[in-house]
Amino acid sequence: MNIIKSFTLATYLAFKEVIRNLGRFMLVSLVIALITLLVLFIAALGEGLGNSNRQYVSNLDADLLVYREKADLVIPSSRVNRADSRTLRRVEGVTDAGIIATSNTTILLPDEVLKVSLIGIESGHPGSPGIEQGRNLGSELAQEVIVDRNVLLRSDIQLGDRITVRSTQGTEDKTYELKVVGVTDGQLYTFQPSIFVTFSNWDEIRTKSDTELGKASTTVNVIAVKAEDPNQIETIKENISTRVENIEVTDIKTAIENIPGYSAQQTTVQTQAVFTLLIGILVIGGFFQIQILQKVPQIGVLKAIGAENFMVGISAVIQIIIVTVIGVAIGGGLSYLFSLSFPPTVPIVFNGVSSLIAIAALLLIGPIGGMVSIIYAVRIEPLKALRLS
């Protein structure tokens, strides 16, 4: 019996058994579908939560971030001289540099408030977002704002509208009016949609203590740097450190990992996903092991009449693959349908790469879970199996 004939016969037997015992196999497929739903949602939640925290930083048109030395690469803790951005633009290997100043504020809506990240930028320099609709910020003193699309999704604000933001100045609340001149996308930061203003406006609006009132800030949180050649990052980092004192330079990936809570949150979500997959492996392994134990006499008959171990093993593998693929397909479809019903405020993002990784892992749990039963099936001795009958 050659391999192709064995494979063909194994496929025939596997499909026949699944079709003739559809209810039993579909039950397992449904269990796999539920596990798939859970894993995909955990992956999407991880992606959504991660996005909500890092999206602005990961979408920066920059290769490096410059922090205050000993700020532990924490953006809110870092203070860098605003003027350093001009110095950095002259460093060899640097194409451009732009300031990033972060704070929080609240947009006043007719019936509620919307909490947002307030980001001060230099228009047209690294740190400023890509414009999807409208235009970039105009002059430094114009009362203009660029808003993340999430702001529009969560309110009735439109391009061209005037919005009112509120912040605490000393011990008093004060409001500011800004005109929405541009809309950007994918700019969530610290779990809030971002709004972008010029540094002067940012300094005016940001929450201040009594002692800061009336004083213009000369510092920003970090400076975003764009390199001429991203492959020369290490050299550029050295050049920057030589030109500017008391700073720490890092790449964007490291900057994201150091966003407060980001790594801990992602590790937690990934651990949940791994444990769900492990539970899946145990459930599937248990089902197929019980099934093989019930089929011992039947496998004994097959072997006694001349079926090879290879064919018996392949038949078991094909069955597991059929059940797993059907389960993952149902689970994937259900996940997609559910995802359509979530409002934009729910941090669930079905990212192609993370979903594909989750699906690949799910497709593997069947064969891994069924491994013990496959080995058991191959090792069944026909004579002993027939005596059991």
Partner 1 sequence: MSSAALEVNNITKIFQSEAGQIKAVDNVSFQVKSGEFVALVGPSGSGKTTMLSILAALLSPSEGQILIDGRDLSRMNETKRVALRREKIGFTFQSNNLIPYLSAAENVELMLRLNGRLGRAGKVRSRELLARLGLGDRLNNLPAQMSGGQQQRVAIARALIHNPAVVLADEPTASLDTERAYQVVKTFAALIHENDRAGIMVTHDLRMIQYTDRVLQMQDGKLVKIYKTRSEIERLAGIKG
- The residues of the shown chain that bind partner 1, judged by CB under 8 A, are 1, 5, 9, 12-13, 16-17, 20-21, 297-298, 301-308, 382-383, 386, 389
CB closer to partner 1, 142 vs 386: 386
Burial 175-201 (b: 16+ CB within 10 A, else e): ebebebbbbbebbbbbebbbbbbbbeb
Instruction: Please report how close the Cβ of residue 190 comes to partner 1 at its closest, in angstroms.
Output: 58
CB closer to partner 1, 206 vs 295: 295
CB closer to partner 1, 29 vs 150: 29
Q: What contacts 124, CB < 8 A, 6 or more positions away? A: 136
Instruction: Please report how close the Cβ of residue 41 comes to partner 1 at its closest, in angstroms.
Output: 35
Instruction: Please report how close the Cβ of residue 8 comes to partner 1 at its closest, in angstroms.
Output: 8
Instruction: Please report how close the Cβ of residue 7 comes to partner 1 at its closest, in angstroms.
Output: 12
Instruction: Please report how close the Cβ of residue 384 comes to partner 1 at its closest, in angstroms.
Output: 10
CB closer to partner 1, 134 vs 382: 382
DSSP letters for 296-344: HHHHHHHHHTT--HHHHHHHHHHHHHHHHHHHHHHHHHHHHHHHHT--T
Instruction: Please report how close the Cβ of residue 387 comes to partner 1 at its closest, in angstroms.
Output: 9
- Strand-pair category, 144-148 with 172-184: parallel
Instruction: Please report how close the Cβ of residue 132 comes to partner 1 at its closest, in angstroms.
Output: 57
Instruction: Please report how close the Cβ of residue 21 comes to partner 1 at its closest, in angstroms.
Output: 6
CB closer to partner 1, 16 vs 253: 16
Closest to 255 (Cα-Cα) out of 97, 77, 100, 73: 73
CB closer to partner 1, 157 vs 292: 292
Closest to 185 (Cα-Cα) out of 162, 151, 137, 145: 151
Q: What contacts 305, CB < 8 A, 6 or more positions away? A: none
For residue 188, is it left (φ>0), alpha (ψ between -120 and 50) or beta?
A: beta
- Strand-pair category, 80-81 with 219-220: antiparallel
Instruction: Please report how close the Cβ of residue 383 comes to partner 1 at its closest, in angstroms.
Output: 4
Burial 327-363 (b: 16+ CB within 10 A, else e): bbebbbebbeeeeeeeeeeebbbbbeebbeebbebbb
- Strand-pair category, 113-121 with 162-169: unpaired
Instruction: Please report how close the Cβ of residue 1 comes to partner 1 at its closest, in angstroms.
Output: 7
What are the DSSP E strand ranges found in the chain? 64-68, 80-81, 94-108, 113-121, 133-134, 144-148, 162-169, 172-184, 188-189, 192-198, 219-220, 222-227, 247-251
CB closer to partner 1, 143 vs 309: 309
CB closer to partner 1, 73 vs 311: 311
What's the chain's Rg over C-alpha atoms? 29
Phi, psi angles (nearest 5°) of residue 173: -85, 140
CB closer to partner 1, 260 vs 382: 382
CB closer to partner 1, 131 vs 301: 301
